[in-house]
Amino acid sequence: MSKRVSRRSFLKGTAAGALGLASMGLMGGALAEEAPQAKAINEPETWDYESDVVVIGTGTSCYGAIKLADAGLSVIAIEAYATAGGTTGISGGMQWLPNNHFAQEFGDTREKSLEYVKNMRKTSGITDAQCEAFVDNAGPMLDFVTPILEATSVGVKATQTEGFGDFYAHWDCGLEQGRTVDFRIPGDFFGAANWRKAYLEAQEKLGVQFSLKTTATKFVYRIDDAGVPEILGVIAEKDGKELSFKARKGVLLATGGFDWDQDLCNTFLATPTEYACSLNTLKGQGLRMAMAVGADLSNMTETFGHITYKVKAEEQKAKGVPCNIMYERMMPRQIIVNSQGRRFINESSDYDSSWRTMAGYKTWGDHDLQNVPAWIILDRKHVDTYGFNVSAYIGDVDERGVPPYFYEAPTLRELAEKIGVDPDGLEDEVKKFNGYCENLYDPDFHRGENPFEWYFFSDSSVEPGPARNLGPIEEGPFYAGELAPAMLGTCGGPRLNEHAQVMHVSGTPIGRLYACGNCSGFGGPGPGYGGGGGTIGPGLTMGYIAANHIIDTLTTNWDGTTTTGEGTKIEAGDVANTESGLDPYGDNGFGTESTVAHSYNPGTYSATADGLGGPVTVTMTFTGDAITDVQIDGALETPDIGGAAIETLKAAIMKAQTAEIDAVAGATITSTAVITAARDCIAQASK
């Protein structure tokens, strides 16, 4: 039996060394003799690997895997992608966790959190017991994992995400701060990559093994007398070879959604959606595996959604990389309209709600979608004042200061004719909207009334309120970009109970099968999205709940053995080396580390772009293959916001060795200027 690694010994031993999840040699474990069992379905003649628990997917399952391993159970994690961490590892890293100890400092209580999540679930079928399990375990999960992650060599600290409130903070039970937390290195605003390194290192130190580029295909199971399956293991494919993984105690399914399977999206989603901000391995395999053993389904028409630029999203889809998220709609001096030229949305609303507004069908003609295509309409002053907040994600702007796939015209009427929108409708809508801006009140969609909507506005001299979101469209030329519905991830899948067990269509749990994250039907709960990290927090919590249930109740192995903690070693080279810098995002510019080799003309180069207060100049020094120095002169930027962001941006460019970095929250205009100028420097230096 392999030696159990206690949390205490782990915490003492993690200070040394950087992450290295490779180099475990092939070693057959001494397996206990199996008791005679009834014939199982899909059972292999011999098992290639064996452990207490098999985890399928390495994203939101991470805290569950840490809990299992900390309790002394052996864990093998199967991952379809080339690196561990899943889409969770390339997210913003935020975790929405109701009633955690940070939130309690801002007035959160169990009662408030329960009211909030029950409002979120709407009519999804998520039970009171599930809501209570989420609220009651989110805080304890954070308290459990905090000392483990903080003790890793990465040096992350648990942090309340300042200024980032609930998406529905205007509800009586909502909070403007506290429920969103993350793990980051102090002073580093780009926490997701470091958080990923920390949770992978924690798993490695506790003995979790990873089998990468390994796609699970089916369960091994047997049927009980009532006709309900009991899961015994997993069959997977790696490099064209079939592998079998025996799970003595249980399986935690965490494969993500079906974002990249268009047939499944067309079958289930209420709004036709073609673009996804996730890893391209999310093709619904976990959903199919669960359906094959009779899992009941929940939340299938829903996705954690957003709006994207259609032309750019098409390019990104063809490359197999995540599509961009747009934030221009949070700013003044723009509206979003349909082909009739009419607004149909609070443009500044949270991104999940924005997706739902595109679901309306026409009751005439071909019965297609009334709000697809949609267009963002903005004026020249918007471009000059706010820029394009996502220019770091969607590619360089052209000489107009806008993405090249935008349309331009001197008048609104001419613009409408170019894009196929009703000119009379657009002119009338802009006139009406400009009147709302003058009164700072939007009676149609209440834009600017929810505190969340003010977060992305970087000018602190403007008092929080509708003035941060409302501004007239009046100065030509005018611009239009086509929009389309997109997803952060589907959130429908096998129905769970309050223990994160997968439910059978008969209404009883499928034996030894659990699920968490976007492959499950829990959602956030249901179709709701609580706040920043609203996809990740619920997934992490359900994985933690599943781990506790396995630890507390599955004391007997399905094969009749008493083995615990012993497992077969995974082949060398199968596990993740998170120091390699492999970029799951490819070349879409989301700011993760890249392995692409650089070739520069050595020297020092400068470039300037417009910030909030005036010109921002970036000066960069290059050797033949590296950026060795970055200097940023933004003397006219606001000292407390833009000025503070400059140091963070400088450090980020040096660390990433690229200009493809994240904007600093609350300083998007300064960030855009720095990133644009840095790109210019890199272009000058590149061979």
Q: What pLDDT band is residue 395 in, cutting at 50, 70 and 90? A: low
Q: What pLDDT band is residue 86 in, cutting at 50, 70 and 90? A: confident
DSSP string over 646-680: HHHHHHHHHHHTSS--PPPTT-HHHHHHHHHHHHH
What was the pLDDT predicted at 303?
A: 93
Residue 650 to residue 634: CA distance in whole angstroms: 12
DSSP string over 157-221: EEEE-TT--BTTTTSTT--SSSSEEEEE-TT-S-HHHHHHHHHHHHHHHTT-EEE-S-EEEEEEE
What was the pLDDT predicted at 396?
A: 64
Specify the higher pLDDT residue, 167 or 589. 167
What was the pLDDT predicted at 670?
A: 79
Using DSSP, state whether 416 is helix, strand or coil. Answer: helix
Task: Return the number of other C-beta atoms located less than 10 Å from residue 328's C-beta.
Answer: 25
What was the pLDDT predicted at 361?
A: 84
Lowest model confidence (mean pLDDT) among 138-147, 466-475, 599-608: 599-608
Residue 610 to residue 314: CA distance in whole angstroms: 29
pLDDT beyond 50 at 11: no
> pLDDT tens across 576-633, in order?
433 333 344 333 333 333 333 456 888 899 988 877 777 889 999 988 778 989 999 8
> pLDDT tens across 215-230, in order?
999 999 999 999 999 9
Residue 271 to residue 273: CA distance in whole angstroms: 6
Q: How many residues does the chain have?
A: 687
Q: What pLDDT band is residue 139 in, cutting at 50, 70 and 90? A: very high
What was the pLDDT predicted at 12?
A: 40
Q: What is the mean pLDDT of the chain?
A: 86
The stretch 69-94 carries a mean pLDDT of 90
Domain 37-302+491-577: assigned CATH number = 3.50.50.60
pLDDT beyond 90 at 82: no
The stretch 376-390 carries a mean pLDDT of 86
CA–CA distance from 379 to each of 317, 387, 488, 580, 588 (Å)?
29, 11, 29, 44, 27
Residue 292 to residue 267: CA distance in whole angstroms: 17
CA–CA distance from 154 to each of 69, 87, 126, 194, 579 (Å)?
20, 20, 37, 7, 11
Q: How far is residue 677 CA from its own chain's centroid?
A: 28
Residue 54 to residue 445: CA distance in whole angstroms: 47
Q: What pLDDT band is residue 520 in, cutting at 50, 70 and 90? A: very high
Do residues 448 and 463 lie in contact, with contact meaning Cβ atoms separated by under 8 Å? no
Q: What pLDDT band is residue 575 in, cutting at 50, 70 and 90? A: very low
Domain 306-487: assigned CATH number = 3.90.700.10
User: Domain 603-685: which topology?
Assistant: Sufe protein. Chain: A (3.90.1010)
What was the pLDDT predicted at 39?
A: 75
What was the pLDDT predicted at 392?
A: 42
Listed in sequence order, the residues at least 6 apart from 553 whose beta carbon sits closer than 8 Å to its beta carbon are none
What was the pLDDT predicted at 365?
A: 85
What was the pLDDT predicted at 573?
A: 42
- Domain positions in the chain are 37-302+491-577, 306-487, 603-685
CA-closest candidate to residue 280, choices 29, 2, 86, 563? 86
What was the pLDDT predicted at 30?
A: 39
The stretch 258-265 carries a mean pLDDT of 96
